[in-house]
A and B are shown apart, each in its own frame.
Chain A
Amino acid sequence: MKRVLSNKWSIMVFVLPTVVFFTYIVIFPIFKTLWYSLLNEIPAKVGDASYFSWLEHYIAMFTPGRRNPFPGAVVNSLLYAALSIFVQLPFSMFIALLLANGAKGESMYRNIFFIPVVISSVVVSLLWGRLYKGLLPQIFESLGWSVPKNGFLGNPQTKIWFSFIPSLWQYVGYHMLLMYGALKSIPEDVIEAATVDGASGAKMAFRIQIPMIKPMLKVCLSFSLIGSFKLFDTPWVLLERSNRDLPALSMYVDMFSNHNYSYASAQAIFIVLECLVFTILLNVVFSDRDERNLRRRKERV
C-alpha cells in the first residue's frame, strides 16, 4: 500500500477522476461564464449577432445611474459582511465561550442555538416575514413606538437591514458550534496551567482560548465573508419580488427575468472574483500574523 501511494503515477490515476469531474463542473463553467461576460450576448440567444464587447458589461455594472442597482448591491453585501464579522461572529464566540466554560445546561443550549441552522432558509425567512409584518408592528404600536413608514420590509432606507437580521440570527448557531468544538479541543492541562497562573474569565478567553482556536476563527471568517457575498435566499423571500439589493439577486434577475445573460455572467464573475480576493486577503492577514508571532518567539529565545 505504501509503495502504491508513494508512486506518483498511482496517485495521478486515483486523483484523475476527481480532477476531471471537478474541472468539468466547476472550472469549465467559470471560464465559460467569463467568456459569456465578454460577449455582447450569448450565441444561444442572438446567434450570429454575438460579438466580443470585452469589458462593456463590467463598465456598465459600475456606471452610476438611478436604474443601476449593482453598485448599491455591492455596498449592501459589504455591509452584510461587516455585520457578519463584527456582530455575528463575536456573538457566536461569546456564546461558545459561555457554553465551553461549563455553563449550566450546556448541551441543551448548544442544541437550541443550533436549531435555526437545520431549518430551511426559506422557512426562516417566512417566519421572520410574519414577525415583521404582523407581530412586531403590533408590539411597536402597543409600546407607542412608530413603525418605519411603509413597514419594516417596505421602507427603502431600512428594509435591507431588516432582511439581514434573519440570516445573521440563523447562522449564529453554526459558527457557535464550530468555535465551541475548537474550544473543547484545547488540552485540559493548558487551561489548568493558565488557571494556576491566575488566568480566569476574560483573561482566560482573550489570552488563552481565543488565540488557541485561531485556525477555526479563520474558517469562520472565510465562511462568513463568502456567505455574505453570495447571500440570496433570505432577502429574495423577505423583500419585494425581483429586488436587486445584493449582487447575487441582481445577477439572478438579470439572468432569468431580464434575459441579459452576458451582463448577468459579468456579475457572476464579479462575485467569484470578490470571494477570491477576500479569501486571499484573509489568508494573507492571518499568515502574516503567524509569521510575525514566530519571529517574535524566535527573538525572545
Chain B
Amino acid sequence: MKKLLAVALAVAMLLGMVSIASADEPVVLKVASIWSAESEANRAPMLKTLEQFKEAHPEIVLEVEWYEANAWKDQGETLALSDSLPDVFYWNAGGVLWNLVSSGDILPLNDYLTEDISSQLIGGALANMTFDGKVYQLPYTNACSCLYCNTELFEKYGVKIPETLDELYAAVEAFKAAGVTPMALGGGDKWPTNMYTDIITLRFVGDAAARACYYKEDGATFKTQDWIDGMAAFKKLIDLGAFPDNAIELTRDESEVPYFNGEIPMYVHGQWFSGSLSAEMQAKVKAVPFPAVGKGYDNMWMGGPAEGFSIAAYTQHPDEAFIACQFLAQHQSDNGFECGAGLPAWKTEVQCGNPVMNQIAAAVANADTILLWGNTALSGDDATLIGDTVYDVLAGTLTPEQWCEDMETIFAK
C-alpha cells in the first residue's frame, strides 16, 4: 500500500512538473513574410514590428521565414495543397485570397474581431478580405497606384508634369525627342504592366463598369468601346516609345534601376514604391494622380487594402495566431507609414517622414472611389489571363480589340 502511494505521489509530482514546464513554455508560431530583400521598403518596418512583438508578447515566439513576393505566392499555393501553410502568413486580398479561402485553408476571423478591433481600422478596410460575411485577413496597408514624376528631369527638359492624357502624350514625345526614355516598366513580371493598363482603362470605363468586370458581376462585359479606347490609349503610349525598347523582358527590379538613378522621368506604380526612393530622390519626385481623360472618372483610383496577414485554418494555436496576426497587421501599418513604405490601413497618430508618401496620402484621401487591381480582384486563370493579355499587347501581338475579346472569355466559365 505504502509503495503504491509513493508511486502515485511520484507520478503526481512528475505530472505537476510537466504542467508547470508547459505552462511556462512559449507558444511557437510559424510566420511567412515577404520582403526578403534588404532593398524592400517594407523590410525595415517589418523587422521593427517583429521586435515590438517580441517585447509585447514574450509568451509567443514567432519563427519567421522570409520570401521574395512572387516566390512566396508560388510556395504558399504549394503548401496549401498539403495543408501545411504557416500559422500566420502574408497574403494578397481579393481573388488571390479567395483561392485559399475556397479550398478551406484560411481561418475566418469573425469570432476574434471585436467591435473594439474593427473600429481601429479605416473605413472599408476589410472589403477585399470578406467573403460571404466572413473576414479572412487583416490588412497592413492601404494601396493605390499613381504617377511618379522626377521633377528634376521635367525642369531640365522644360516639360510640364501631365495633368491630362494629351499632356502625357506630349510629355512622352518631348522626352523621347530629347533621347530620354519617358517611362519605366518591367513587363517581364507582367503585373507592373497591369498597373498601367488598370488605371488607364479606369479613366475610360469608370469604377462601376470596371468593378463589374473584375468581380464578374452579371451583365458585365469587356466588349465596349470604352474598354477598347482605354487599351488603345495604352497602345498609343507603346507606339510613342514611352517605355524602354526591351521593357517586355525586364523584371520590375531591373526596370526601376534607371528611375532610381534619375534617368527616367515617369513611372506608374503602387504607393510602396515611394518607400524605395532614397532621401535624395524623395526630394525630386512628385507623386500625382494618373492624368485625366475627361470622362468623369478622373478622381477614381486603383488600389485599396489589398495585402494583409491571414491565419491557416489548421493552426494548432488559433488564439495566439490571432494575437500575432492583429499585432503584425496593425504595427506594420504604423511602422510602414512612418518610414514611407505604405499608407496605413489602421487609424493612426503616426507621422510619415516621406514627403512623396504624404503627397499620395493627401491625394488619395479625397478619392471618389478606389478599385482593387484587376489581377488581384480576379482569381486563378482569370488573373493569369489579364497578366498574359497585357503582356501580349505590350509585345505587339494583341490589339486592343483582341484584348477585349480575350478578356470576355472569363465570363464564359
Residues of A within 8 A of B (CB): 44-45, 66-67, 132-133, 137, 147, 149-156, 159, 239-242, 253-254, 256-261
9 nearest interchain CB pairs?
Answer: A151-B246, A154-B248, A154-B249, A258-B381, A153-B249, A151-B249, A240-B188, A259-B380, A256-B77
- Beyond the given pairs A150-B248, A257-B383, 4 more chain A to chain B contacts, judged by CB atoms under 8 angstroms and listed by A's residue number, are A150-B245, A150-B396, A151-B248, A242-B384
Provide the bound-state CA to CA distance between A112 and B388, in Å. 40
Q: Determine if B395 and A150 form an interchain contact, defined as CB atoms under 8 angstroms apart.
A: yes
Chain B, residue nearest A137 (CB): B246
Residues of B within 8 A of A (CB): 70, 74, 77-78, 81, 99, 102-103, 187-191, 245-250, 254, 379-381, 383-385, 387-388, 391, 395-397, 402, 406, 409
Q: Determine if A242 and B249 form an interchain contact, defined as CB atoms under 8 angstroms apart.
A: no
- CB contacts (< 8 Å) of B77 on chain A: these are 256-257, 259
- CB contacts (< 8 Å) of B402 on chain A: these are 66
Chain A, residue nearest B383 (CB): A257
- CB contacts (< 8 Å) of B189 on chain A: these are 240-241
- CB contacts (< 8 Å) of A241 on chain B: these are 70, 188-191, 387
Q: Determine if A133 and B248 form an interchain contact, defined as CB atoms under 8 angstroms apart.
A: no
Query: How far apart are B243's CB and chain A's nearest CB, in angstroms?
Result: 10
Q: Determine if B249 and A240 form an interchain contact, defined as CB atoms under 8 angstroms apart.
A: yes
Question: Known: A133-B254, A154-B187, A241-B189. Is A253-B249 also a contact (CB below 8 A)?
Answer: no
Q: Determine if A256 and B74 form an interchain contact, defined as CB atoms under 8 angstroms apart.
A: yes
Q: 7 A-B Cβ contacts within 8 A? A: A44-B81, A137-B246, A151-B248, A153-B249, A156-B397, A240-B249, A256-B74
Provide the bound-state CA to CA distance between A147 and B245, in Å. 10
- CB contacts (< 8 Å) of A150 on chain B: these are 245-249, 395-396
- CB contacts (< 8 Å) of A152 on chain B: these are 249
Question: Known: A241-B190, A259-B99. Is A253-B248 also a contact (CB below 8 A)?
Answer: no
Query: How far apart are A15's CB and chain B's nearest CB, in angstroms?
Result: 30
Q: Determine if B381 and A133 form an interchain contact, defined as CB atoms under 8 angstroms apart.
A: no
- CB contacts (< 8 Å) of B102 on chain A: these are 45
Chain A, residue nearest B75 (CB): A256
Q: Which of B247, B380, B381, B406 has the most CB of A within 10 A?
A: B381
Q: Determine if B246 and A133 form an interchain contact, defined as CB atoms under 8 angstroms apart.
A: yes
Chain A, residue nearest B103 (CB): A45
Query: How far apart are A10's CB and chain B's nearest CB, in angstroms?
Result: 38
Q: Which of B246, B247, B387 contacts A242 (CB 8 A)?
A: B387
- CB contacts (< 8 Å) of A147 on chain B: these are 245-246
Provide the bound-state CA to CA distance between A132 and B248, in Å. 13
Q: Determine if B190 and A154 form an interchain contact, defined as CB atoms under 8 angstroms apart.
A: no
- CB contacts (< 8 Å) of A149 on chain B: these are 245, 396
- CB contacts (< 8 Å) of B190 on chain A: these are 240-242
Provide the bound-state CA to CA distance between A258 and B380, in Å. 4
Provide the bound-state CA to CA distance between A66 and B103, in Å. 30
- CB contacts (< 8 Å) of A257 on chain B: these are 74, 77, 380-381, 383-384
Provide the bound-state CA to CA distance between A152 and B188, in Å. 12
Q: Determine if A66 and B406 form an interchain contact, defined as CB atoms under 8 angstroms apart.
A: yes
- CB contacts (< 8 Å) of B247 on chain A: these are 150, 154
Q: Determine if B250 and A133 form an interchain contact, defined as CB atoms under 8 angstroms apart.
A: yes
Provide the bound-state CA to CA distance between A240 and B248, in Å. 8
Query: How far apart are B223's CB and chain A's nearest CB, in angstroms?
Result: 16
Provide the bound-state CA to CA distance between A261 and B370, in Å. 33
Q: Which of A151, A156, A260 contacts B380 (CB 8 A)?
A: A260
Q: Which of B245, B250, B384 contacts A253 (CB 8 A)?
A: B384
Query: How far apart are A230's CB and chain B's nearest CB, in angstroms?
Result: 18
Provide the bound-state CA to CA distance between A67 and B381, in Å. 11
Provide the bound-state CA to CA distance between A257 and B70, in Å. 11
Provide the bound-state CA to CA distance between A256 and B76, in Å. 9
Q: Determine if B246 and A154 form an interchain contact, defined as CB atoms under 8 angstroms apart.
A: yes
Provide the bound-state CA to CA distance between A137 and B249, in Å. 13
Q: Which of B78, B391, B409 contacts A240 (CB 8 A)?
A: B391
- CB contacts (< 8 Å) of A137 on chain B: these are 246
- CB contacts (< 8 Å) of A66 on chain B: these are 402, 406
Q: Determine if B391 and A151 form an interchain contact, defined as CB atoms under 8 angstroms apart.
A: no
Provide the bound-state CA to CA distance between A182 and B217, in Å. 66
